[in-house]
């Protein structure tokens, strides 16, 4: 575990203004855990209000367009996220890759656009169940990193990687600790190869069915620097239990 664990909730396409109460509760409690970086990525519609009302946490976008502006109906650019109060952006989530046809080159352009706008970036990578069964998980993730990792000057300092096996997202299934450690070590090796010393300090989060019951064990796994949490981030109680688990590990 890194000196500063990073625990980020991804609300996906969930949440109306009524759910800001959960975010405010998370913010109030997060102030009790100054050693943890706590983030939430709500839908675009809640970004500005959440950033305004919950200053104790970092608020981010779930995606951004690769261009700063223009005729792209329905899209949101990285400078717009900054204007709304975002401080980071998730790129390359498997749901974007699957449902919006985003390939590695597109994900890399989005990551560079987010960095250029001054945002931190959480770059998601992960293999399918079939790729893991075929023994191709590490090769798949290495290829995703080679194709989608931003390379611009200073990128490493504002980058985090989320290793999210697609078969573990929303399924209640998680890889073994040994599988996670092996994958995070392989990711670290690619990060150092591509970013030198800066790559050694990039936080590598685990994502996929993290919940209050398994958070301590997953976060204590070697080479895990935090978590990207989907379903369990939708209630303050369950998300804060995960933040508390991270705090217990750094306090131990
Ligand atoms: C995710 O989609 O980023 C995720 C980790 O979801 P869940 O925690 O619900 O598996």
pLDDT by residue (tens digit) across 51-82?
999 999 999 999 999 999 999 999 999 999 99
233 lines ligand 1 (CB under 6 A): no
Residue 78 alpha carbon to ligand 1 centre in Å: 23
Decide if pLDDT at 2 tops 70.
no
Answer left, alpha or beta for residue 126, where phi above 0 means left and psi between -120 and 50 means alpha: left
CATH number reported for the structural domain that contains residue 114 in this entry: 3.20.20.70
Pairing of strands 6-10, 226-229: parallel
pLDDT by residue (tens digit) across 79-135?
999 999 999 999 999 999 999 999 999 999 999 999 999 999 999 999 999 999 999
Q: Which pLDDT score, from 0 to 100, does residue 1 have?
A: 65
Number of domains in the chain: 1
Band of residue 251 on the pLDDT scale cut at 50, 70, 90: confident
Give the structural domain span for 107. 6-251
How much is the pTM?
0.97
What one-character DSSP code corresponds to residue 172? S
Identify whether 1 is part of a domain.
no
Radius of gyration of the chain (CA): 17
Residue 154 alpha carbon to ligand 1 centre in Å: 28
- Whole-number mean pLDDT of the chain? 96
Residue 103 alpha carbon to ligand 1 centre in Å: 20
Identify whether 92 is part of a domain.
yes
126 lines ligand 1 (CB under 6 A): no
């Amino acid at each position: 575990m890194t000196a500063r664990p990073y625990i980020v909730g991804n609300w996906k396409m969930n949440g109306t203004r009524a759910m800001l109460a959960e975010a405010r509760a998370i913010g109030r409690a997060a102030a009790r855990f100054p050693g943890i970086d706590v983030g939430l990525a709500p839908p675009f519609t809640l970004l500005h209000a959440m950033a305004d009302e919950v200053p104790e946490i970092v608020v981010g976008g779930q995606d951004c367009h690769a261009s700063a502006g223009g005729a792209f109906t329905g899209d949101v650019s990285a400078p717009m996220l900054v204007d709304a109060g975002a401080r980071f952006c998730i790129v390359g989530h498997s749901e974007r890759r699957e449902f919006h046809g985003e390939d590695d080159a597109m994900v890399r352009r989005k990551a560079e656009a987010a960095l250029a706008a001054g945002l931190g970036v959480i770059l998601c990578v992960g293999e399918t169940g079939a790729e893991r069964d075929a023994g191709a998980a590490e090769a798949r993730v290495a290829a995703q990193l080679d194709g989608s990792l931003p390379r611009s000057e200073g990128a490493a300092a504002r980058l985090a990687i989320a290793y999210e096996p697609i078969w573990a997202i929303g399924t209640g299934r998680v890889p073994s600790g040994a599988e996670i450690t092996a994958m995070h070590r392989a990711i670290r090796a690619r990060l150092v190869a591509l970013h030198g010393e800066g790559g050694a300090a990039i936080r590598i989060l685990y994502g996929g069915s993290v919940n209050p019951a398994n958070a301590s064990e997953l976060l204590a796994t070697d080479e895990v620097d935090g978590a990207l949490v989907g379903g369990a981030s939708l209630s303050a109680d369950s998300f804060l239990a995960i933040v508390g688990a991270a705090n217990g590990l750094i306090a131990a």
